[in-house]
Amino acid sequence: MDEKLFEKKIESKKIFNGEIVGLYFDKVRLPNNKITTREKVTHPGAVGIVPVNKNGDIMLVKQYRYPIGDVIIEIPAGKLSKNESPMECAKRELREEVGAIGGKLIHLSSFYTTPGFCNEILHLYIAIDFKNIENDLDDDEFLHIINVKVDDCIRFVESGEIKDAKTIIGILMARDYLNKEFKADGR
């Protein structure tokens, strides 16, 4: 860590503790010794999965997202449960949201979603060679599954039809992964 950039926490006040996030109001000492405040949201972490079916289509979900008040197109995703590994979470979310079981889960990347105010880290996977069965949504989960060709997914990203960051990153990384695999297979 570059010590010349480090901010030292002086005090922390927990303002809110919800089922998913916690909110803190902290006082910190900056590298120049000035004191300021930081608002921090804590999150248990999450996974996002790009499921590529046997036809080579990406399975996306359309769902209403209350914070933005709109239906958006996303890759299957979900938050980590207590003591759950990212791989276990990815398998659970695939089964629940799109009915995908078995096959291969390949880790593509892990990244912070909004590090300016939140510690959430998202673990991104691609799923291939899985079997499809009926999905098993949570009681409070409503979505539609859509199968979209990779090239159409790229067009959705470029046109702004897909606005979700994890989905954009996932689609682009999956395309690159699939292109490398395609070349490696000699096709």
pLDDT tens-digit profile, the chain (187 residues): 688 999 999 999 999 999 999 999 999 999 999 999 999 999 999 999 999 999 999 999 999 999 999 999 999 999 999 999 999 999 999 999 999 999 999 999 999 999 999 999 999 999 999 999 998 888 888 999 999 999 999 999 999 999 999 999 999 999 999 998 766 665 5
Q: Are the C-beta atoms of residues 149 and 57 closer than 8 Å to each other? A: yes
Q: Which helix (H) or strand (E) segment is 39 a member of? A: strand 35-42
Neighbours of 61 (CB within 10 A): 21
* Predicted local confidence at residue 186, as pLDDT: 57
| pLDDT on residue 181 | 76
Q: If we measure between CA atoms, which residue out of 36, 43, 46, 55 comes closest to residue 16?
A: 43
Domain tally, the chain:
2
Neighbours of 11 (CB within 10 A): 9
20 and 53 assigned to the same domain: no
Domain of residue 12, residue span = 3-42
Q: Are residues 17 and 80 in the same domain?
A: no
Q: Which two tokens stand for residue 32?
A: 């120049």
CA 11/CA 112 separation, integer angstroms: 24
Q: Are residues 101 and 175 in the same domain?
A: yes
CA distance 32 to 142: 49
Q: Are residues 65 and 34 in the same domain?
A: no
Q: Do 59 and 22 share a structural domain?
A: no
